Amino acid sequence: MTTYEQLFENNRQWVAQKLSQDPDFFLKLSREQRPDYLFIGCSDSRVPANEIMGLDAGEVFVHRNIANVVSNTDLNVLSVINYAVEHLQVKRIIVCGHYQCGGVRAAMESKDLGILNPWLRNIRDVYRLHAPELNQIPDDTARYQRLAELNVLEQCINVIKTAEVQQSYLEKGYPEVEGWIFDLHNGQLIDLKIDFKARLQQIQQIYNLTGQPHH
């Protein structure tokens, strides 16, 4: 395990490396950020947003929580989406889950998990919505993997439900919403190929917050 003191030495080495590559790196970094991506991911320590995307500091706006949930009662994630869309004008919002997600597995355990109960209920709701499909998967691991994928899908839908995303897309043509899975076994990102335009059209039949008539 890395010691606390080592973290500062690591930082000094990182600074030196960045300056050797670009003497103006921190001058550029200190200017206003303009990332093209908002990444909503899991807090799991094995899923570092910038690294798995191959992006540097300043290139991705990040929000992480247990099991990459977008809840309509969570002012934290809703504030992040608002800031990313209204002020940073990101072009894509990525919801990224991962296989072997502890939050997904915990949600399916039949026990009292205290303060985690209301949070994990969001994932249990995903299971309830997709129970016919999930219950047909006999293998526990395969079922949890599919639930992780379906959780990403439903959280993407929750992002699309927000007024900021609907209004910005209508006015500017962005952001679009993407759903990914990170496979811890091989380090690869999997695009779940969410059909954003089709999903938006479906959602606006009920959740139209644009002030414009649904077509």
Q: Catalytic: which of 31, 34, 36, 42?
A: 42
Catalytic-residue membership of 130: no
Would you call 146 a catalytic residue per the annotation? no
DSSP for 83-131, please give it: IIIIIS--SEEEEEEETT-HHHHHHTSSS--TTHHHHHHHHHHHHHHTH
Q: Which of 22, 24, 36, 46 is catalytic?
A: 46
Give yes or no: 42 in active site: yes
Instruction: For residue 122, give every residue at least 6 positions away whose Cβ sits within 8 Å of its Cβ, in sequence order, or none.
Output: 67, 69, 71
Pick the catalytic residue: 31, 34, 87, 98? 98
Question: Among 63, 101, 146, 199, which one carries the catalytic annotation?
Answer: 101
Distance (Å, whole) CA 52 – CA 139:
28
Q: What is the DSSP string of 25-68?
A: HHHHHTSPP--SEEEEEE--TT--HHHHHT--TTSEEEEEETT-
Is residue 44 annotated as a catalytic residue, yes or no? yes
Residue 196, Cβ neighbours under 10 Å: how many? 20
Catalytically annotated residues: 42, 44, 46, 98, 101
